[in-house]
Structures are given as C-alpha cells and as structure tokens.
Amino acid sequence: METLLELQRRYHEERERLIQGMVEETMLRKNSVREQLNSDHRKKTLIDRFSEVTSNLKEVYEDNDGLRKQELSALSGPNEFAEFYSRLKQIKDFHKKYPNEISIPMSVEFEQMKKERENPPEDLTLVQFSDEEGYGRYLDLHGNYNQYINLKGVEKVDYTIYLMIFHLLYDIPKERKGAEYRSYLEGLLDYLGDYVSRVKPLLDQSEIVEEVKTEFNKQWEAGTFPGWPKEAGGNLAYSGARLDLSGFNSWEELASLGLDRLKSALISLGLKCGGTLEERAQRLFSTKGKRMSEIEPSLFAKGQPARESKQNGNKARDIAFLEAQVYKFTELLSEQREATKENVERKLARTEGERQESDEEQGLQSDDEDEDDIPYNPKNLPLGWDGKPIPYWLYKLHGLNISYNCEICGNFTYKGPKAFQRHFAEWRHAHGMRCLGIPNTAHFANVTQIEDAVNLWAKLKTQKTSERWQAEEEEYEDTLGNVVNKRTYEDLKRQGLL
C-alpha cells in the first residue's frame, strides 16, 4: 500500500534512525576487546544498511521511470480531492479484506536494537575466531608457517622466529621467488585480509589496496621497492656472475675488467657475449639503469629473447605487488602481531601444570575484562609477560627512560640503548637507507641523520674513486728495460725507436 512518496519518507526516517544508532553505538562504553570488536561489527552492519537505503532513496529522486513525477502531478492537479478519496477507499478496502493485519512501526525494530546494544549477552559472538586467535587478540599463522618452512632455500626456523620475520620478505633473495613462493604469498595474503575484515570491519580494504597499488607503482618504476632494486637485468636470474654497473661511469672503465669478466656479466643478463673488448664493454654499459624490458632486443643472445624477459619481469612485478600488500596488512596488524609473539613465548615458558591451569581459568572466565582489572600504571611503564607493569628499577636499569630519535627511520623513537642499537639491523632502518640509495653497511653505524648519512656516502664514494685504478696510469717497458707511460710507449713504437 506504500506510494512512492510514502516510500521516500520511510527511507528518510530509516536513514535518520540509522545515524542515531551509529552515534549511540560510538558513544557506548567498551570495557574489553570483545565489546569493542562486537561494537565495530554492529556499526559495520548499520553503515552497510545506511548505504543501501541511501542508494534506494537516490533512485527514487532520480525518477528514471517517471512514476514519482506522475504521482506528484496526480496529487497537485485539479482533481486532488478525487485522488485523495480514491486512495482512502483503497486503504479501507485493504483493511476490510485483512482486518487482523498488524503493522509494526520502524521504531520498534530500532528500540529492540538499542536494548540488545546496551545489555548484550555475556557470550555474544558476532564473528568467528579460532581458539588460537583469542577472539581477535592474536594471529593464527600455523598453516602459513608450515607452508613457509617447506619452501626451497629458506632457513628452517621455529614458529616464534617466524612470527618476527614473516613480514621481512625483502630478505629472501629474489632468485628464490618462484611459483611456490607466490603460492605461499597468496595464502598469507588471504589469511591477513580475512583477519583484517574480522578484526577491523570498518576499514575499506579495496581503498587500502588501491593506495598500496599507487605507492607500489611509484616505487617499482623508481626501483626503490624493498627487495627488488632497479638494475640492469631487471628481475631475472641467469647463470653467470652479475656485475653492479652503478660504480662505472663509462664503458672504458668497464673495459679495464677484461674479456672474461665482461663475458660472464653479459651471460648473466642473457646478452650476446662475443666481440672485442670494446664491443663487450659498450654492450654491457648500454644496459646501465635499464630493466630487461627496456634493453634493445638485438642485444639478446639466441634463446633469451626480450619477450621472454618481459614476461618474467611481469611475473616478478606481480609477486612484488603481493609483497606490498603483505607489508601494508602487517603494518595494520602490528599490535596483534606483537601480542601474538608475546603470547607464544609466554606459553612456551609455562610448565605443563601451569598450562592446564591457565586453560581451565580461560574456560571458566570470560574473555571480557572489567574496568577494575586495568593495572595501575601512572608512569606508563611497559607491561611484562603477565600483563602488569615491570618494576621501576628494571625500567631504569635498561635505560627505557631514554629516548633515541632516528631521522632515517622517519623520525621513529626508540626506547632504551638496546633497542636503539638493534634497530640499525632491522627492516625500518634498512628500508630508510635503501630509499636514500645508501647501502646499510658498518660504515653508517650510529648515523641517524639523513644529512650525515648522505655526506658520509659521498665521502666514501670519492675515496673509492680515488683508490680505483686509472687506465691512464698504465706503464710499459721497452726492450731495454725502460719504463714509460702508455702515450710515450705508443709514440716511440710509431717512430720505430723500440
């Protein structure tokens, strides 16, 4: 019996009630992780319903079929009273035909939702988690761990170590990143994406993936994506010894390496390796700063066409994009990842009796924590394995009251000298150095300022250039044992004085 105008009014009412419900849900106090998670999922349901109602209301206003305009014309025309009594007769006829029909107003539904929101059951479960995940507090990566340790060429580590390194994908050599590695990445990404949708339901994953794709394309084109540097030869692995061309400024410098070394470098890129010393040096130097897809096809040897290298380059790009998504999801789940590592270490440190006792306590008690269970921590001390603040003397002993700032890490702050010294070998500092185009070697120990690192790298390159052997300094010995430079030797040879 609803007309288009009545339907339009109902959509507006439903939108307003949904907005009010989201406001009340946001203002509701949450005392535990479970309550916060359930609240987010209820809010997600309201947002989805609001979007659907808004879409329906937009269709009514657009009036593509012209029914709304026709109805307005009927109500505002010269026979508006006839239209009114006609509709009134339809309503009376309907109620005569269905005298016991009950109409439930929208306010009843939202009042029921409000009561369930303010007084939820203690064991309310709006989303499914495994026992290991602890209702969204921990990660369950056992399946991905089993797949990881079965990869060829990776170090076999235990589960605790895996939790600390599973996101450090750039440490795996790119020569080992094949089909099995891609399958592992896809499985890991599927789990992380599903876990994020359960733990953070309000996040728009499609928007996050688009942001990752935009940033990844910039880094890939610039050759700054972690684990996939831009170099001649792109992302392929051929037999032969690779040669880093960044330290050579001309083909003459490459020629000083000799025929055999240039041949090995050309073979590693799948290029033609014949010709004179000058031809090989020029051919190799022409690939400096280029990917395999950018090298002229005529330079490739038979059996290594440019099309094949381009296909392999596209496969490498797809794998690198999967890695970029894993990096992003791992960053979003950094809190859960740290909690998982601590939880696994805590379980390993317990005896069998303590483990059984803890399981019994978890079975008897709810996962919810009352407000009174929050530890008193006015000095904001770090929490220990038992969830309580560590002693203040231990806090001072380890120097956790001292903060160290590293500009290379994006002005990240480290608490205590131990964490500060350890961070120079961790991914954040290594990635910052890689973005600056500087190798993270021992020369840059304790360097935290970008300007200092750049100046030191320039000094090291200047020193390396001065120590490099110069071709102009070649010396020759004539038949009499006299030592002269190359230019003098050639002049004497042309004059026939040798």
Beta carbons of 138 and 195 less than 8 angstroms apart: no
pLDDT score, position 360 = 57
Better-scored residue on pLDDT, 119 or 238: 119
What is the C-alpha to C-alpha distance for residues 261 and 241, in angstroms, rounded to an integer? 8
* C-alpha distances in Å from residue 191, one per residue of 139, 146, 188, 267, 338: 10, 14, 5, 40, 17
Is a pLDDT exceeding 50 seen at residue 232? Answer: no
If one compares 312 and 247, the residue with the highest pLDDT of the two is: 247
pLDDT reported for residue 404: 92
Above 60 in pLDDT, residue 307? no
Share of the chain above pLDDT 90, in %: 16
More confident residue, 230 or 447: 447
pLDDT of res. 452 = 93
User: What integer is the mean pLDDT of 163-171?
Assistant: 85
Percentage of the chain lying above the pLDDT 70 cut? 87
Given this model, what pLDDT does residue 498 score? 73
What pLDDT, on a 0 to 100 scale, did the predictor assign at position 50? 93
In which band, very low, low, confident or very high, does the pLDDT at 359 lie, cut at 50, 70 and 90? low
Burial class of residue 431 (count of CB atoms within 10 Å of its CB; 0-12, 13-18, 19+): buried
Q: Chain-wide mean pLDDT for the chain? A: 81
Residue 420 has pLDDT above 60, yes or no: yes
Output the pTM of the full model.
0.55
